[in-house]
Amino acid sequence: MKQRILLTGIVLIVALVAVNRMRTARDAVSTPRGQGPESDSVPATTAVSTEDTAGQRSPAPAPPANPPRDSSPLAAIAFELASRTQIPMQVKRDYVQLHHESFDSYLATRDPDLLKEAAAKYPNEPQVQFAVLSNNLFPEERRKWIDALKTSDPDNSIGNYLSAAEFLKNGKKEEAFEELRQAMSKDRFDDYLQEGFQNRQEFLRHAGLSDLGSRSASVQDLELGHLPEMKRIATGVAGEYERLENGQRHAEADDLATLGLRLGQQMSLGDASRTLMGQLVGIAVEKKVLSVMDPARQHAGLPLPVEQMRAELERQHNELKGLVSGLHDTLVPLMVDPDPQRFLQYLERFNLFGEEEALRWARRQRGE
């Protein structure tokens, strides 16, 4: 299952629906007789290729036929988000050619056919391997691509975690837990989100979207297809922990719990914490493991007693929930401001520092 839409993306959708409703109501009273809704619909932004003086193909985006009447960033985003889903294949191929068929130019298009071409052309590139796995392009060859990612990016624990989840899915618990032990020795958990954000933004600019539209769409288009796999690991660890505890194998159970908690900590505090969704899944992983641990027993390897760890996770969860519950009030004022710079600044901070810090910055702009 793909999990592309971030919490920020959710509030974008809610806000855009509201704008579209307002525009529909306005058009109902302003459209001249004889012109139905179809005549005032907003077509997709398109881009075409033209021949330059050197005979090379270069992008020449066509201006929108019916730009939004509202001058706020929100109206512009609504207009351009719809357009990105209808970018012609020729525009995508032009972009790939313009960038000399580099692997990241293929990935930036998010087109399944072009992703498969990238897989054939760059089978040893970690970002290509991760894109194949996130999009589940070759389900029957998933193990092959996981092993390739582990080989190509050996210091990145995400390959081990994806491998553990795949083993658990196929009922191979011992192999899965061995992958968790290997991941334990690696400090890096890289899901390539920052590179994907930048590449996607550059492609959408090529396709004719504005700086504002391309950045907003890039936030929505981040690929989070690996997050359900991390939750699968938490469920597997918790189940095996209970089995070991019931067999009085406390030392083995504690070692396994440490492995599961390590995953959650990497996601909620490490590289994967760039999105609220990643942080929340990381907290959920830790909470799942801790939920089956007896607080009355001493557990080897834990920095704090079980109850204290549960309380700290609950505090972190509630803090993030506070940011989530205030998303509408935090972002919509930036999006309806006629000056797009403030919302652009938010998106820039999202890319540089992550979603949580960007939202905190946005709240400070409101005096909170």
110: nearest Cα among 120, 124, 96, 121: 96
pLDDT digits (tens, 9 = 90+) for 322-339: 888 888 888 888 888 888
Return the pLDDT at 18: 42
d(CA 171, CA 159): 18
SS3 for 285-312 is: HHHHHHHCCCCCCCCCCCCCCHHHHHHH
SS3 for the chain is: CCCCCCHHHHHHHHHHHHHHHHHHHHHHHHCCCCCCHHHHCCCCCCEEEEECCCCCEEEEECCCCCCCCCCCHHHHHHHHHHHHHHCCHHHHHHHHHHCCCCHHHHHHHCCHHHHHHHHHHCCCCHHHHHHHHHCCCCHHHHHHHHHHHHHHCCCECHHHHHHHHHHHHCCCHHHHHHHHHHHHCCCECCCCHHHHHHHHHHHHHHCCCCHHHHHHHHHHCCCCCCHHHHHHHHHHHHHHHHHHHHCCCHHHHHHHHHHHHHHHHHHHHCHHHHCHHHHHHHHHHHHHHHHCCCCCCCCCCCCCCHHHHHHHHHHHHHHHHHHHHCHHHHHHHHHHCCCCHHHHHHHHHHHHHCHHHHHHHHHHHCCC
15: nearest Cα among 75, 83, 67, 85: 75
HSE-up of residue 268 (Cα within 13 Å, Cβ side): 23
Return the pLDDT at 113: 97
Return the pLDDT at 61: 47
Return the pLDDT at 126: 97
β-pair partners for 47: 61
Q: How far is CA 45 from CA 208, 210, 352, in A?
A: 7, 10, 28
Q: How far is CA 269 from CA 273, 309, 314, 358, in A?
A: 6, 15, 15, 16
**How far apart are the two ends of the chain, measured CA to CA in Å?**
37
Q: Provide the b/e sequence for 218-243 (b: ≥16 CB within 10 Å).
A: bbbbbbbbbbebbebbbebbbebbee
Return the pLDDT at 84: 82
β-pairing verdict for 47-51 and 57-61: antiparallel
Structure tokens at 46: 């398109």
Torsion of CA 286, 192, 221, 119, to 10 degrees: -120
Q: Which residues contact 145 (CB under 8 A, 6 or more apart)?
A: 129, 132, 133, 138
Return the pLDDT at 336: 81
d(CA 69, CA 95): 30
- Per-residue confidence of the chain (368 residues) as pLDDT tens digits? 444 445 555 445 444 544 444 344 344 334 444 444 333 333 333 333 333 333 344 444 444 445 555 556 677 777 788 778 889 999 999 999 999 999 999 999 999 999 999 999 999 999 999 999 999 999 999 999 999 999 999 999 999 999 999 999 999 999 999 999 999 999 899 999 889 999 999 999 999 998 888 988 888 888 888 999 999 999 999 999 999 999 999 999 999 999 999 999 998 877 678 899 999 999 999 999 999 999 988 888 888 999 999 999 999 999 999 888 888 888 888 888 888 888 899 999 998 899 999 999 999 988 87
Return the pLDDT at 71: 56
Return the pLDDT at 52: 38
Return the pLDDT at 271: 67
Return the pLDDT at 220: 86
